[in-house]
Chains A and B, each alone.
Chain A
Amino acid sequence: MSSIRRSTGLSLLVAAAITLSACGNNNAGSANNTASGSPSQGNTPAQTAAATQEPAKQTLRILSGVAGGKTPEENEQFEQEIERLTGIEIEIEKPAADYSKKLMAALAGGEKYDLVYMGKTEMDQLVEQGVLTRLNDMIDASAVLSDPEVIEPSEWDLVKYGDGDIYSILNKKEGGTLPTVRQDWMDKLKLEEPKTLDEFYTVLKAFKEQDPDGNGKDDTYGLSTSGLYDIQGFMSAAGVKYRYVIDADGKRSIPYSTEAAVPVYEWFAKLYKEGILDPNFATNDTAKMRELFLTDRVGMVTYWDAWVGLFNNMRQTEDPDTAFVAKGITGAAAPDGSFMLRRGDPSVWGIPVNAEHPETAIAFMEFWHSEDGNILSTLGIENVDWTKGSDGSYTLTETGEEHGMDHGAPFPSSTKFVNPVGTLPGAAEAREIIFSNNSTVELSTADWPNAEKIVQNYAFKAMMGDLPAADAVKSMNAELKSAGLID
């Protein structure tokens, strides 16, 4: 009996161990399957072409994070519209959430897509792992994609590796993030657009204390953010940029961990202490931050330029008589009067090395960057999102109004494209601020996820007043150094 019990105990142990390993191993197992079912590494066009000697069929399987309809039903209409416009039979998979995980899991599991949408982080990982096809020759051979008026050379620079290798095609022209203010509250309280941290403090304090929404309650905050995303508009005052800076000698530093950032952390600590900064700022996600802005709880947020237009569109669609006006502003100026804003990482399309129809994928990308493609990626589907009058004018339908002129690329790359409906209120002005104020992409490395945790930890301590800003920065810097994350 005793031995039976003993063996039962042992069985329990083994079962527990196996159950425990399930999480990691399912992924690992599926990942391993890829090796057997995929071509060996080698992602030059010649090899890809060799692997697809039969004439390219006009069919395409796409994994998309943004391009497509807003609902599953509209996604089908989107596919039909592409087929109507291009003759390409298309299948778009557009996961509702967790896109990046779905992308990685699908590719590791051996799924074959002709085109995959991704951000820069995923692109870096996939290039490093040899998953993406090198596209330089295909791009050079394409009259559309190599046209500098369609995709500017400086944009291509954002996606180049090593000696100029390109593994992806840009989806759109990315904007950036900037402080977005309730202009109607500014007007109501007779406030001037702030340029320095002190002026920002005055405005934000007024939003907190002078009942800008007029409901007679002390229920507004001056500023809300979603963690450190994105305080760059204020760090601009100190001339420091988020993530890594690598100098000519290859020495890595993180400017947010330098003494230069101290006054800005102290400024945030003052806002937090006085209740001007949304107390949930450290735990907010961006959706929560947006909700606060749209529901009259906060006077300023920091977010994407395109969202200035979307904020206005949402409120005006909901209530045409609303006084709500969102406006993008430049952020805080450095002592020399310059600004240092954040340009978004490029979002791109890549062709996996196991794609069955790479030539068709290029044909689709040429369409995506054509006039018709630009209309589809902005306005959406004809007769669903918009209609065309006999005089050639475009009018958004009610559905199109709701969709906010964004079906994957609200601002296409092509410099030739002019949105026939015009941009959403305030969006173009916000975009102009990004492109005329030294807005650059942030530099990340493989170490950044670990470094970011240290930066966030001490930055929050400083901003919430748990540690004097100078001490927080000193500790942040020391810890980054001892972990080998900066030089």
Chain B
Amino acid sequence: MPRFRQHIGLYLMFVPVIVYFLIFLYFPLVRGFTISLQEFRMIGDRPFVGLEQYKAVLGDPFFWQALKNTLWIGAGQLAFGFAASLLAALSLGEVLNPLFKKFNQMVLYIPHLFSWVIVGGIWIVLLSPDGGMVNELLKLAGVEQPVHFLAEERYARWIMIGTSVWKEMGYTCIIYLAAMTLINPSLYEAARLDGAGRLKQLWYVTLPQLVPTMKTVFVLQLLGVLRMFDQLIVMRNPAIYREVDVLMTYVYEQGIQQFQMDIASAASFLIIAATLVLTLIFSRVSRYDLS
């Protein structure tokens, strides 16, 4: 108690933060959960229906298709995004010319600055069968019929993965580069004295030192998997809905387009539960909390 009194000023400063979170996060969370247990109506009574909306969501084949797509695309984005950014960071780490390094870093980073509306629009144009750059290159390579990449189901998920990796690689790469600057130079010096070449230094010094950062990056990307939305809303179209509809687009369609707020809320809470489970599994497996 005396310590509380001693630091009461600090506690008081924290009050607005608590109030903010209570009003803008926890309150809507509780209201949303309440709605997921009701039959939603915009005006009038909202009878409680227990877990009926959850049952409706779990009995909806479109929800399961969306979950399958989410895991497919999410796994691809995690795997390729993780590997590509790490490779890019390691490659840039080997570049000695600082100007060249910064230039490449900037080029890699720029796509991250744009919203998905811009990036999606760019790729829709690039992949267009009507004069799109990719099809023009294919034509030069002898392909006669243009490929409608964004209307073919077989390409749809891969395009979502590829464009996402392309957009976010530079951002994650910078996190790795920042972590690399904190590696103790004496470790490299010791490795060199032991006769390690650049590749072995990379393998035995850089990579192990980056493991905590990798875990952080991975958990952040993992949390994003079930939340992916902007990219899909911009780049999907009726021809590929089935392959690229994800959980968040399912929630959006149910809640905003069909205005079934009860179903959308139930689906949201299922997603929250799934995220918690995923994160707990990763935390347990990677001992993230101990790194």
* Residues of A participating in the B interface, judged by any CB pair closer than 8 Å: 2, 5-6, 8-9, 12-13, 16-29, 31-32, 34-35, 38-42, 101, 104, 107-108, 125-126, 129-131, 227-228, 278-280, 282-283, 353-354, 446, 449-450, 453, 456-457, 460, 464, 466, 483
Contact = CB atoms under 8 A, between A and B. Distances in A.
B41 A129 contact: yes
B45 A41 contact: yes
A34 B227 contact: no
Contacts of B219: 12
B172 interface: no
A99 to B, nearest CB: 13
A283 B237 CA distance: 6
B251 A24 contact: yes
A130 B41 contact: yes
A340 B34 CA distance: 47
Nearest to A8: B289
A13 B219 CA distance: 10
Nearest to A128: B41
Contact of A282 (B34, B227, B238): B238
A107 to B, nearest CB: 6
Interface in B236-265: 237-239, 241-242, 248, 251-253, 255-259, 261, 264-265
B46 A280 contact: no
Contacts of B259: 104, 108, 125, 129
Contact of A28 (B253, B261, B276): B261
B268 A18 contact: no
A24 B257 contact: no
Nearest to B21: A18
B32 A24 contact: yes
Contacts of A22: 25, 28
Given A21-B272, A41-B41, A460-B239, 18 more contacts: A2-B290, A8-B289, A12-B279, A22-B28, A24-B268, A32-B34, A107-B43, A108-B261, A129-B41, A130-B44, A131-B42, A280-B148, A282-B148, A282-B151, A449-B257, A457-B238, A457-B239, A483-B61
A351 B180 CA distance: 63
23 contacts: A5-B289, A9-B283, A20-B271, A21-B29, A21-B268, A21-B269, A23-B268, A24-B265, A24-B267, A25-B265, A28-B261, A29-B32, A38-B44, A41-B41, A41-B43, A41-B44, A107-B42, A126-B42, A129-B43, A130-B42, A227-B238, A278-B130, A466-B152
Nearest to A456: B238
Q: Which residue of B34, B265, B279 has the most chain A CB atoms within 10 A of its CB atom?
A: B265
Nearest to B271: A20
Contacts of B78: none
Contacts of B165: none
B43 A24 contact: no
Given A17-B276, A21-B272, A40 B44 contact: yes
Main secondary structure of the interface of A (DSSP, over half): helix
A131 B128 CA distance: 44
Nearest to B251: A24
B35 interface: yes
Interface string B138-161: 000000001010111000000000
A453 B29 contact: no
A21 B264 CA distance: 11
B11 to A, nearest CB: 18
Interface string B35-52: 110001111111000000
Interface residues of B, number: 63
Contact of A16 (B241, B275, B290): B275
Q: Which residue of A24, A41, A460 has the most chain B CB atoms within 10 A of its CB atom?
A: A24
A24 B255 contact: yes
Interface in B38-78: 40-46, 61-62
A282 B290 contact: no
A129 B229 CA distance: 28
B25 A34 contact: no
B217 interface: no
B151 A31 contact: no
A44 B247 CA distance: 39
Nearest to A272: B148
Given A18-B25, A25-B32, A279 B130 contact: yes
B280 interface: yes
A19 B283 CA distance: 18
Contacts of B238: 227-228, 282, 453, 456-457, 460
Contacts of B46: 35
B223 A16 contact: yes
A458 B248 CA distance: 24
A283 B124 contact: yes
B7 interface: no
A250 B289 CA distance: 59
A27 B264 contact: yes
Contacts of A108: 42, 259, 261
B276 A449 contact: no
A418 to B, nearest CB: 39
Nearest to B128: A280
Contact of B62 (A17, A38, A130, A450): A450
B129 interface: yes
A137 B18 CA distance: 52
B45 A104 contact: no
Nearest to A9: B289
B28 A20 contact: no
A20 B273 CA distance: 10
